[in-house]
Amino acid sequence: MIKRFGAVAAVDGLDFEVEEGTCVGLLGPNGAGKTTTMRMLTGQAVPDEGRLEVLGYELPAQSKQVRAEMGVVPQLDNLDVELTPRQNLAVFAHLYRVPRRDRGAAVDEALRRAGLSDRADTSLYALSGGMRRRLLVARGLVHSPRLALLDEPTVGLDPQVRRQLWELIDRLRDEGMTVLMSTHYIEEAERLADTVAIMAHGRIVARGRPDELTLEHAGREVVEIYGPPARLREVRAWADSTGRAVRHTGLAIAILRAEGDNSLPDGERRSATLEDAYVVLTGEEAT
């Protein structure tokens, strides 16, 4: 599918599938087209070309059916502070058309999922940042959807809260929920996703298990060479002339696919990482 804004193709020929019961991480730098992709999947935006099928339904024609079976977690906390956690969840159980007789159980299940069963009836102001975030996720999933969509769910959160969300997303996957999340944090994709789709300039440029992507695009080992700018330029020129793949990492040049290569300049040898592959594929240094 393709989505254009004026002359810019925000999403340019995207073609991917999410296998049921797995977590797919859409990993890419800012502006790659992650949010645009998510918005098309939720029916908030319509592709200019191509067809979109989610959970066996055609979008946008059947977006109502899709919404019933999909849970969407917003990036910004828009919980109702006038209501308790239980009431926040009950409102959404109603919006998501959970049958009246099932709503109580659905809310209890969401509270359990969020680890907030013992805080169900307190004020929202009494919750920590991490608790609120967990509630926000659980609210989007109160109708136990088949597919959960999370667009950059941890952007800007402090590390402790991020870790709590990771645990929650991990549990969703253990429960067999299909999860599609976007992120620009390499570590997050590496930790949570079974399959990572690396996105750049509106396209998925590579897709696979994190370890497969690393091996395929950066090799097994990397040698990092430190030195003054002139030395780095020299190493760079040598690497280019001998056809070796490199990456600049701050004060060093990293030579990729260094395993078994004994003619490299002296440097620090380390294992290749998903970050190395990401930089090769997107042309952008990690943030």
Ligand X SMILES: Nc1ncnc2c1ncn2[C@@H]1O[C@H](COP(=O)(O)OP(=O)(O)O)[C@@H](O)[C@H]1O
Residue 130 interacts with, from ligand X, Mg ion, none (CB under 5-8 Å by kind): none
Stretch that binds ligand X, among 4-12, 68-76, 110-118, 247-255 (CB under 6 A): 4-12
Q: Which does 10 bind (CB under 5 to 8 A by kind): ligand X, Mg ion, none?
A: ligand X
> Shortest approach of ligand X to residue 278 CB, angstroms?
14
Tell me which of 1, 10, 124, 197 binds ligand X, using CB under 6 A.
10
Nearer to ligand X, 195 or 282 (CB): 282
Instruction: Rule CB under 6 A: say whether 67 interacts with ligand X.
Output: no
* Distance linking the first and last C-alpha atoms of the chain: 28
Footprint on this chain of Mg ion (rule: CB under 5 A):
34-35
Specify the residue, 263 or 287, whose C-beta has the smaller distance to Mg ion. Answer: 287
How many chain residues interact with ligand X (CB under 6 A)?
11
* Nearest CA among 41, 38, 89 for reference residue 66: 41
CB of 6 to ligand X, least distance (A): 7
The rounded distance, in Å, linking the Cα atoms of 198 and 93 is 34
- Please identify the residue of the shown chain whose CB is closest to the bound Mg ion: 35
238: which 2 tokens?
């040598």
Q: Sort strands 147-151 and 178-183 into parallel, antiparallel or unpaired.
A: parallel
8 or 105, CB closer to ligand X?
A: 8
Binding mask 18-57 for ligand X (x = CB under 6 A): ----------x-xxxxxxx---------------------
- With vertex at residue 163, the alpha carbon angle to CA 161 and CA 165, rounded to the nearest 5 degrees, is 75
Distance (Å, whole) CA 174 – CA 8: 39
Burial 201-234 (b: 16+ CB within 10 A, else e): bbbbbbbbebeebbeebbbebbbbbeeeeeebee
Comparing CB distances to ligand X, the nearer of 8 and 81 is 8
Which listed option, ligand X, Mg ion, none, makes contact with residue 31 (CB within 5 to 8 Å by class)? ligand X
SS3 (DSSP) at 268: strand
The smaller minimum CB distance to Mg ion, of residues 35 and 195, is found at 35
Under 8 Å CB-to-CB from 132, ≥6 apart: which residues? 77, 79, 124
Conformation bin of residue 241: beta by default, left when phi > 0, alpha when psi is -120 to 50: alpha
**34 or 103, CB closer to Mg ion?**
34
- The partner in contact with residue 32, picked from ligand X, Mg ion, none with C-beta cut-offs of 5 to 8 angstroms by kind, is ligand X
Nearest distance in Å: CB 8, ligand X: 6
Contact between 8 and ligand X by CB under 6 A: the answer reads yes
Output the six-digit token pair for 93: 């159980």
210 binds ligand X (CB under 6 A): no
CB atoms within 10 A of CB 186: 22
As measured in angstroms, the least distance from the Cβ of 16 to ligand X is 15
> Which ranges constitute the DSSP H helices of 158-253?
159-174, 186-192, 210-218, 229-241
Q: Which residues are near ligand X by CB under 6 A?
A: 5, 8, 10, 28, 30-36
